[in-house]
């Protein structure tokens, strides 16, 4: 009997998309110096994290989408709980609170965007213990970590 498939919610913990067990980042805490440093491969299954030069440029669009979704969610929550009016400054209080929250959460959003971007291109492999990961074909060693 196969062990149960690890949850897809492991992406929020920034786990490897292939085995869903290995860490994608060297530091587990997103508020340390060097919080975006990634190992070359997963420590558990050996999946390559840098699939091609400039691979993670696309994660900036995912990060933008996450921050917009967060801002819309905080605006709706603010409108429902506190209310929005043109008669006072409540909208400016929301802008200030949202701005502070975005600055505080930006390191986590950046890591989550990178994890989501990799999860789009690398699928879960139930037999990751026996099947080796594919080697990236478009890696230029002189351009490694040039992002």
Between vectors from CA 43 to CA 41 and to CA 48, what angle results, nearest 5°? 20
Under a CB-based contact definition with an 8 Å cutoff, are residues 129 and 3 in contact? no
Spatial neighbors of 116 by CB under 8 A, at least 6 apart, are: 11, 59, 62
What pLDDT, in 10s, does the model give residues 30-67? 888 888 888 888 898 888 888 877 788 899 999 999 99
Ranges of residues in the chain whose predicted pLDDT is under 70: 1-5, 137-147
Under a CB-based contact definition with an 8 Å cutoff, are residues 62 and 117 in contact? yes
pLDDT at 104: 95
């Amino acid at each position: 009997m196969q062990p149960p498939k690890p949850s897809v919610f492991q992406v929020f913990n920034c786990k490897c998309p292939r085995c869903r067990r290995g860490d994608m980042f060297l530091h587990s805490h997103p508020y340390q110096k060097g919080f975006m440093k990634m190992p070359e491969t997963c420590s558990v299954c050996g999946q390559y994290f840098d699939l091609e030069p400039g691979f993670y440029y696309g994660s900036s669009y995912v990060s933008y989408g996450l921050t917009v979704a967060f801002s819309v969610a905080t605006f709706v929550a603010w409108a429902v709980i506190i209310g929005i009016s043109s008669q006072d400054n409540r909208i400016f209080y929301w802008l200030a609170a949202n701005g502070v929250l975005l600055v505080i959460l930006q390191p986590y959003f950046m890591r989550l965007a990178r994890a989501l971007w990799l999860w789009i291109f690398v699928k879960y492999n139930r037999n990751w213990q026996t099947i080796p990961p594919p080697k990236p074909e478009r890696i230029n060693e002189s351009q490694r970590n040039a992002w």
